[in-house]
Amino acid sequence: MGGDTRKQFRVLGDAPVLVQTLRAFEAHDNVDALAVVVPPEEVEPVSALLDVHALTKLVAVVAGGATRQASVGQGLDAVVAHGTEEEDLVLVHDGVRPFIDGDATTRVIAAARSHGAAAL
């Protein structure tokens, strides 16, 4: 995409791409909590950005690990620490993919419940 601004912070419509992505999940009835995993140096700026956009399901912004697997683990830990350990399903989604829609989210949730795991 070029330029100095990272994709997740570029404005799309009325908000940065990351916010648009989170709004898609915020609007879904079967999504109860959102945790955002970012590089350690971005925890504070992303937290401040998301505070401005008042996402009611956001439970944490946490530093990721050295690998994607470690970062997903950090996100899972944040959800559990928030007291949602009774949840039986976790969705992992890339924050720079804002065009996920409610129907696709519903289908992947149903597939994961049916088969134990699913990918969109």
In tens, the pLDDT along 20-68 reads 999 999 999 999 899 999 999 999 999 999 999 989 999 999 999 999 9
The residues, any chain, with a CB within 8 Å of residue 59's CB and separated by 6 or more, are 33, 34, 35, 78, 79, 82, 84
The pLDDT value recorded for residue 83 is: 75
C-alpha to C-alpha distance for 67 and 91, rounded to whole angstroms? 18
Q: With bands split at pLDDT 50, 70 and 90, how would you rate the model's confidence at 5?
A: confident
The pLDDT value recorded for residue 11 is: 83
C-alpha to C-alpha distance for 88 and 50, rounded to whole angstroms? 26
C-alpha to C-alpha distance for 23 and 15, rounded to whole angstroms? 10
The pLDDT value recorded for residue 115 is: 95
* Model pTM score: 0.88
